[in-house]
A and B are shown apart, each in its own frame.
Chain A
Amino acid sequence: MKRAVPILAAAVVILAGADLLAGGGGFSLPEGVLLWKLRVPRVLTAILAGCALSLSGAQMQALFRNPLADPHIMGVSGGAALGAALASLAVGTGLWISGVSMVAAAFAASFLTALLLVAVSSRVSGNTLLIFGVLLGFVFSAAASILQFTAREESLKLFYSWMAGSFAGTRYLEIIIIGAALAVGSVIALVNARGLDVILFGEEYAGMVGACPQYIRTLSMISASLMTAAVTAFCGPVGFVGIVAPHLARRACASSVHSRVLPVSCLCGAGLALAADILANVWAIPLPVGSTLALVGIPMIIAILLGR
């Protein structure tokens, strides 16, 4: 299994190259502005988003001892969607500034949701927190539905295109923001890696070996929500990477020890995001990445669940 890491790394490089060529109804390498303003940012966004979402998912799965946990299930992207829906209502009114306001609203809302989860996480046990997160997600999506019901057509169009998810159209400043969130989030995750190992065996056990379950939980919630908020704000609620990548990483390492699983999750997540992005962009009209990720990711989840 030691060979898995170089193979995965090579796969990510090849997929990144292929993704750079994907676009304009097939595979081609554009020149100049098109390459540097469209293709390169899209590839970089896919890689960073894949890493960030897979690290978030790996932490959530350890935290809730649930193979299907990820920040989307915890209501964080539901919060982002509600924020985006609220902002899109302002289209055509004096309050509307630009697309930036939707991104800012999504980021703020998902981060507020995460803060709420962190606050609650210090008071309740893992399973209760999971239920709380899922219910919170339902409340947000109900509220967003009500907003859409009353929204004008131009608001809806903007909102739906954000909801569909895309790695395209990001500017370098946005890539730097996602990258910074990933840097902070991954450092926290790696520092907390041993804590994640311990908490997998239950909170009572964690206490026996001198760990503080609440501290471990709060750290990983902060890390996961920071990364998810940044990615979701710019790319829309992109699911499945966070669930699938950690499972692939555990297979590849033949281990659940987080100091090994976390870095390999990044490779798997980046690879998945790139694959979905290629699948979304080789057509004359680009497809929503949220959907292509579901097409790539769901068969993998099913294979993992059936193969246990």
Chain B
Amino acid sequence: MISANNISIGYGSRTLVKDISFTLAPGELVLLCGPNGSGKSSLLREIARRYPVECAMVPTRIPKLKGFTARDFLRNSLFDRPHSSLEVINQALEALGLEAFANRDISTLSDGEFQKLCIASGLVRRPSCLLLDEPTAFLDAENRILVVDCLRSLTSEQALTILFSSHDLHESAPRASRIFAIAPDGSFHTGGSEVIKKAFPNI
């Protein structure tokens, strides 16, 4: 079980978010929202640091390099576990419907397909919780929904916990089972869609 009790996020002497308390249950899809620079990425990184075994940070802003197949890429993501079986990779490809792309060069994948492959690269590490920092940034509306739906089915089918940050509240909030919001004043709110109004009264 991943939880936080009254932690603060910041750097140097500056506190970005204070009084963060939450627990994450299996099967939850949690949206983390807040303005740019409010500490979303820092919070995700802090959770990954506190739970290195349970949580896998999903790479969301990496280059689509030529010369690596989807399978090579997933094998890279098991860098510290060179003896993992091929089965793990096949299962991750299957979970995201990427079997047909297994031997395709990743530079030829669309941005949406590549984002799904990045999620698969978190899955191969067999975590109980996936952390994603803005997985839908730079995607068009259709692909944004595709990616969030894909996260949603992972939580329900595999009893995974997923915490992802996003600025696309209209698409993401209705699909999330819970919302974490960081208000402009650095306060931390959790709850249903009503917390968005509470944290950001001006939008």
CA distance A198 to B125 in the complex (A): 15
Q: Does B77 contact A (CB under 8 A)?
A: yes
A250 with B76: CB separation less than 8 A? no
Q: A210 vs B122: C-alpha distance in the bound complex, in angstroms?
A: 12
* Pairwise interchain contact B68-A194, C-beta atoms closer than 8 A: no
B67 at the A interface (CB under 8 A)? yes
How many chain A residues touch B (CB < 8 A): the figure is: 20
Q: Which of chain A's residues has its CB closest to B63's CB?
A: A201
| Shortest distance from the beta carbon of A20 to any chain B beta carbon, whole Å | 35
- Beyond A208-B57, A208-B59, whether A250 also contacts B67 by CB under 8 A is yes
**Interface 0/1 of B69-90, CB less than 8 Å to A:** 1001000111111100000000
Q: Which residue of B lies closest to A195 (CB)?
A: B79
Residues of chain B lying within 8 A (CB to CB) of residue A253: 67
- In the complex, whether B65 has a CB less than 8 A from a CB of chain A is yes
Q: Do residues B67 and A209 form an inter-chain contact, with CB atoms below 8 A?
A: no
Contact string against B for A residues 235-270, beta-carbon threshold 8 Å, 1 for contact and 0 otherwise: 000000000000000100111110000000000000
**A257-B63 in contact given A198-B79, A211-B80 (Cβ < 8 Å):** no
Closest to B66 in A: A256
A182-216 vs B, CB cutoff 8 Å, 1 = contact: the mask equals 00000000000011011011101110111100000
Chain A residues with Cβ below 8 Å from B203 are: none
Residues of B within 8 A of A208 (CB): 56-57, 59, 77
Known A-B contacts A202-B62, A202-B63; A210 and B72 likewise in contact (beta carbons under 8 Å) = no
Chain A residue contacts of B78, Cβ below 8 A: 209
Nearest opposing residue in chain A for B67, CB measure? A256
In the complex, the answer to whether B59 meets A256 with C-beta atoms within 8 Å is no
Contact A205 B72, beta carbon cutoff 8 Å: no
In the bound assembly, the distance between CA atoms of A253 and B56 in angstroms comes to: 32
**Contact call B79/A210, Cβ cutoff below 8 A:** yes
Considering the chains assembled together, what is the distance between the CA atoms of A188 and B57 in angstroms?
29
Whether B76 lies near A197 (C-beta < 8 A) is: yes
Shortest beta-carbon distance from A205 to chain B in Å: 5
Residues on the A chain within 8 Å of B72, using CB: 197, 255, 257
CB pair B68 A255 closer than 8 Å: yes
Q: How far is the CB of A217 from chain B (nearest CB, A)?
A: 15
Our pick among A202, A204, A210, A257 for the contact of B67 (Cβ within 8 Å) is A257
Measured CB to CB, the closest approach of chain B to A246, in angstroms, equals 11
- Chain A residue at smallest Cβ distance from B56: A208
| Residues from 115 to 152 in A contacting B, C-beta threshold 8 Å | none
Does B67 lie within 8 Å of A194, measured CB to CB? no
Given pairs A197-B72, A201-B62, A256-B67, 14 additional interface contacts (CB within 8 A): A194-B79, A194-B82, A195-B79, A198-B76, A205-B62, A208-B57, A209-B80, A210-B81, A211-B79, A253-B67, A254-B67, A256-B65, A256-B66, A257-B72
6 tightest A-B CB contacts, nearest first: A256-B67, A210-B80, A209-B79, A205-B59, A211-B79, A201-B62
Question: Can you show 6 pairs from A to B with CB atoms below 8 A apart?
Answer: A202-B59, A204-B59, A209-B79, A210-B79, A255-B72, A257-B67
